[in-house]
Structure 1
Amino acid sequence: MNDMTTLTKPRVETVLKDWETDQEVRWCPGCGDYAILKAVQRTLPQLGADPKNTVFVSGIGCSSRFPYYVESYGFHTIHGRAPAVATGVKLANPELDVWIVTGDGDGLSIGGNHTMHILRRNLDCQILLFNNEIYGLTKGQYSPTSREGTRSPSTPAGSIDHPAKPAAFALGSGARFIARAYDVARQLPDVLTAAYNHKGAAFVEIFQNCIVYNKDVFADFTEKKNADDGQLWLENGRPMLFSKGSKGIALDREALALKVVDVVDGDWAGAGVIVHDVTNRSVAHMLVEMPFGAFPMALGVVYDDPIASFEQAVVAQNAQLAKGKMPDLQKLVGQGQTWTVSAREETDAADAGSAGSGPEL
């Protein structure tokens, strides 16, 4: 693994309660956001994160209430613009830990452009995209990730849109870290930890159950009875096995595509099962594009191959440009075309204004 993934930030000792605010948590009873909030609040002490050095930035939507509930600095910004605000925060103070909380509507519809650019720039931050495949806050309209046929107030006959795939979108935008989990997964804290330790933009898609408008849409792989066959939890350096080790993912070299294979007597190597390499971008693309049903859902850290982050490059460039120069604001303001307005000219302008004005009412 590249050295840039090594956590070098000073640790601060905190407990769960240090990250809880006095605000009443207001989501619908049973909403998956509760589980995600608690997973984040439990993970932050394990990371040694400092509440006074942490900022949560959100846009608009159910997920975007997050900053109210985490005892840290936070911005509840406008629809889709959380990445732009987060970029400003990080550039102003690169030492801050910046988390972005968004949803499939906020981050991929009006905010799709901003999400793309923060990923390609590779700002050092964690982006948590809650994907419930619906607009929950505005009462159940279909979203960019809603499946074809989704019936909603805005698509009563069923959506005919082809849904966006958040992880594939992130990879296509140049993201260097991609992970997936779901709201009540016990592995979610491990995924959050990996994202935090990554130097650069870490994109985490979290499948979230909207109990009111899209209930159990992910049940085919999240429910306990479906988990063995429906989930492929990826671990770097470990074979891609699922269904209690009886099946695995192999590469069809003729078709240049992935396929499911049976594993007999634990001989995964003989079955051709792939060993997960988080730095393999080509396989990462295939993993996030696997059609569910024919394949399990790929979860965990899919891709992790860091490069220098955006704010590092900005700080280095500014330092280079400032080398050998003394800051002089007056000189900067006075350079170029300047002129001096005399006292006589100011008086004449004032008189002309008075003459042209009508009587006071």
Structure 2
Amino acid sequence: MSETKLPVLKAKDFASDQEVRWCPGCGDYAILNAVQRVVAQTGHSRENTVFISGIGCSSRFPYYMSTYGFHSIHGRAPGFVTGLKVANPELDVWMVTGDGDGFSIGGNHMMHILRRNVDVNIMLFNNRIYGLTKGQYSPTSEQGKKTKSTPMGSLDFPIDPIQVALAAGGTFVARSTDKDRGLADVLTEASKHRGSSFCEIYQNCNIFNDGAFEDLTGKDTREDNVLYLEHGKPMVFGKNSDKGLRLIGNRPEVVTLGEGGVSEDDLLFHDETNHALATMLACLHHPEFPEPLGVFYREDRPTYETLVADQVAEAKEKRGAGTLDDLFNAGDTYVLEGADSNHGLHD
């Protein structure tokens, strides 16, 4: 009997028949195109792929993917993801959220899905603004940001999503931009990871926060402002690849190769398995330092749904499969005697 071969899917096969309704010029279009290319390359079928989102501009994503999906509740996508993966661990699940959805009302949920290491690809679109609700400041907006809700400038110090993901125990933490050449590569690596992969994507909101990342995406400025992280390679950047990062004591500094005898051997070399190094890179503040893009950190750790399945199997082995009726009547029970339907209990 011949083996049935699954059809080879292309990016267009993952595009739904729905009209894509983001503002013209929005960075979400570029991310959508990159994701459709990546999922086509993973080899998963559309029937086994699920996109789950919260609320926001980015959270319209499931409508535009020809897969299963949920447009869920504000900030609560991690709960839907966790339930789905525990119920069906074989599904390829992607979670789409934004800086407001993921780190305001959903901040607590984000921490827990990361520390639990649920096997999901999390994409956080960070435009440093609330776009869907028309331009209020968000948890990642810069201090002093003037918006409709902060006309005199925001007093809040912004959350750094990469720092939060690392501190919460994320096992794959990365960053890219909507226009970056490496976005598809980062998402591909995330899709290969078993566990919670967290990808922050700088995304331009050309209506309410246009040009927020222009120095990182513009062709004339990008090379001097971006440090592409490559495992095992020296941290070199600049249009002429003549700048780099090195450590003096325990502090990083930007150096120019060739000046004072500085060579690539003197620079920091990236190590994706070094959590301390990843944390230091997450704390680099642009424009004093270049903005790191790529994979900050990855580690192998058992996934949450695997541990749940192991625990269920252990319980069955020790106590048997059981029944729902047994469960309802397990533990402490009591009986009400002498109950009167008209007057309740009586002596």
The answer to whether TM tops 0.5 is: yes
Q: Indicate whether 1:249 and 2:245 are aligned.
A: yes
Counterpart residue identity of residue 282, structure 1: A
CA offsets, 1:231-272, max 9 Å, x none? 11111111111013201111122xx121111112997334x1
* Greater CA drift, 25-34 or 304-313: 304-313
Correspondence for 1:298 among 292, 309, 322: 292
Structure 1 residues 337 and 74: CA distance shift in structure 2, 3 A: same
Structure 1 residues 12 and 267: CA distance shift in structure 2, 3 A: farther
Aligned identity (percent) is: 51
Q: Indicate whether 1:151 and 2:146 are aligned.
A: yes
Q: Indicate whether 1:337 and 2:333 are aligned.
A: yes
Counterpart for residue 226 of structure 1:
221
- What is the distance in 2 between the residues matched to 1:207 and 1:268? 31
CA contact (8 A) 2:162 2:200 kept: yes
**1:227 Cα deviation (Å)?**
1.0
**1:118 Cα deviation (Å)?**
0.5
- What is the distance in 2 between the residues matched to 1:331 and 1:318? 16
CA contact (8 A) 1:54 1:72 kept: yes
- What is the distance in 2 between the residues matched to 1:122 and 1:150? 34
Structure 1 residues 11 and 126: CA distance shift in structure 2, 3 A: farther
- What is the distance in 2 between the residues matched to 1:144 and 1:136? 13
Counterpart for residue 279 of structure 1:
273
Superposed, which structure 2 residues align to 1:1-361 within 5 Å? 13-243=8-238, 244-253=240-249, 256-264=250-258, 268-270=263-265, 272-323=266-317, 325-335=320-330, 336-337=332-333, 349=341, 352=342
Superposition TM-score, scaled by structure 2 size = 0.92
CA contact (8 A) 1:12 1:48 kept: no
Counterpart residue identity of residue 247, structure 2: L
- What is the distance in 2 between the residues matched to 1:332 and 1:146? 49
Secondary structure at 1:168 match in 2: helix
**1:341 Cα deviation (Å)?**
9.8
- What is the distance in 2 between the residues matched to 1:85 and 1:326? 26
**1:13 Cα deviation (Å)?**
2.4
* Greater CA drift, 166-175 or 207-216: 166-175
Structure 1 residue ranges without an equivalent (≥5): 1-9, 354-361
- What is the distance in 2 between the residues matched to 1:330 and 1:307? 36
- What is the distance in 1 between the residues matched to 2:30 and 2:328? 52
Superposition TM-score, scaled by structure 1 size = 0.88
Structure 1 residues 316 and 268: CA distance shift in structure 2, 3 A: farther
Structure 1 residues 37 and 329: CA distance shift in structure 2, 3 A: same
CA contact (8 A) 1:239 1:268 kept: no
Secondary structure at 1:171 match in 2: helix
- What is the distance in 1 between the residues matched to 2:327 and 2:136? 52
- What is the distance in 2 between the residues matched to 1:22 and 1:124? 28
Secondary structure at 1:287 match in 2: helix
CA contact (8 A) 2:256 2:262 kept: no
CA contact (8 A) 1:142 1:152 kept: yes
Secondary structure at 2:221 match in 1: helix
Counterpart for residue 359 of structure 1:
none
- What is the distance in 1 between the residues matched to 2:212 and 2:176? 15
